């Protein structure tokens, strides 16, 4: 079963943590997930950060260490290849903050939930590349060198607005494609909005939708025209060879 990409087709890909799993990055939910047993919607939120900033810094510090040690996998590289074939008729929307798509060479990427390797000051709002702030045991909370404000990872937490330009760019891409839109969601459990609602927009404009997942979640898979069970690192290179 392969994607049918024709003259007028526009391809939008949504990725989640499952696409990074074969690089060795833990996913969130399910067996051994990062957030297993944690009420993550409470913790990864502005309120959670206010109450226990050190817990959140330890959580993100651990993920920064992990993300530095891993490499993009065949799934990431397949998406770079698709972008090179289609150019403007390709758009990658990722929920992942690990930066692996960008390191693989993807350019047309919308980083919906922010960047793990960026830090933002909660006071002066400056953002900088930072892969080394971890909050080691016993260390104090990381503070801004300019204004001493408390620093935070530059990611979008639950209850925080997404960058509205990103959402506008996605809907413009989809509207322009109309029924020529091909939408592929890979490695996401479809539980987090607004990303999880994209497939419903595709269905409204009679685009074609595909879900790639090792264990496609029932409630999400039912909203796709095609469901391909398998690892994204193996399926994506074959889906449009
Ligand atoms: C927003 C931060 C407007 C970075 C994340 C009530 C009150 C408040 C809000 C809400 C509400 N009801 C709904 C909402 C909206 C809320 C939401 O969706 N809640 C859910 C839980 C119901 N969303 C928000 O708050 C968003 N903001 O809506 O603003 C607003 C504001 C206030 C009030 C209302 C609305 C902000 C959402 C962003 C949250 N931040 N992360 C970070 O730490 O990474 S989300 C987090 O989950 C990650 O970003 C992650 O990417 C994302 C989704 O998870 P997945 O990527 O899908 O990963 P998961 O582990 O779940 O699944 C992996 C899948 O891969 C599995 O299916 C597995 O089978 C598969 N898999 C595994 N291995 C492989 C594989 N597949 C293929 N190959 C493999 N090898
Ligand atoms: Zn500052």
In tens, the pLDDT along 10-45 reads 999 999 999 999 999 877 766 666 665 667 787 889
CB atoms within 10 A of CB 144: 18
* Ligand 1 touching residue 187 (CB < 6 A): yes
pLDDT for residue 133: 76
Q: What is the pLDDT of residue 42?
A: 79
Catalytic residue among 76, 101, 113, 180: 113
Q: Whose CA is nearest to atom 36 of ligand 1?
A: 158
The burial of 173, by beta-carbon neighbours within 10 Å (0-12 exposed, 13-18 middle, 19 or more buried), is given as buried
Residue 155: closest CA among 94, 91, 104: 94
Go through the domains of the chain in sequence order and give each one's CATH number: 10-24+71-113+161-239 (3.40.50.1220), 29-69+118-155 (3.30.1600.10)
Taking the C-alpha atoms of residue 60 and residue 124, their distance in angstroms, rounded to an integer, is 21
Q: Which residue out of 35, 193, 230 has the highest number of ligand 1 atoms within 8 Å of its CB and is therefore the one to mutate?
A: 193
CA of residue 142 to ligand 2 center, whole Å: 11
* pLDDT less than 70: residues of the chain: 29-38, 137
Place of tokens 């260390």: 139
d(C-alpha 51, C-alpha 232), whole Å: 37
Whether 106 lines ligand 1, by a CB cut-off of 6 Å, is no
| Sole residue written with tokens 């398998």 | 230
Q: What is the pTM (predicted TM-score) of this model?
A: 0.95
Alpha-carbon distance of 139 to 101, in angstroms, equals 32
């Amino acid at each position: 079963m392969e994607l049918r990409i024709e003259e007028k087709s526009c391809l939008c890909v949504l990725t989640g943590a499952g696409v990074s799993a074969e690089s060795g990055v833990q996913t969130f939910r399910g067996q051994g997930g990062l957030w297993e047993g944690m009420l993550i919607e409470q913790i990864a939120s502005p309120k959670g950060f206010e109450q226990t900033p050190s817990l959140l810094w330890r959580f993100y510090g651990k993920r920064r260490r992990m993300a530095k040690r891993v490499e993009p996998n065949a799934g990431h590289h397949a998406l770079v290849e698709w972008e090179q074939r289609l150019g403007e008729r390709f758009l990658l929307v990722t929920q992942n903050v690990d930066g692996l798509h960008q390191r693989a060479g993807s350019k047309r990427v919308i980083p919906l939930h922010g960047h793990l390797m960026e830090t933002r000051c909660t006071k002066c709002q400056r953002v900088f590349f930072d892969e080394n702030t971890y909050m080691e045991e016993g260390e104090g909370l990381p503070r801004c060198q300019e204004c001493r404000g408390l620093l935070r990872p530059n990611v979008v937490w639950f209850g925080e607005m997404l960058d509205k330009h990103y959402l506008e760019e996605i809907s413009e891409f989809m509207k322009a494609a109309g029924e020529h839109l091909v939408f592929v969601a890979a490695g996401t459990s479809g539980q987090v909005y607004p990303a999880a609602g994209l497939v419903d927009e595709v269905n409204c404009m009679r685009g074609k939708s595909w879900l790639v997942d090792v264990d496609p979640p029932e409630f999400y898979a039912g909203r796709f025209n095609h469901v391909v069970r398998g690892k994204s690192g193996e399926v994506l290179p074959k889906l449009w060879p």
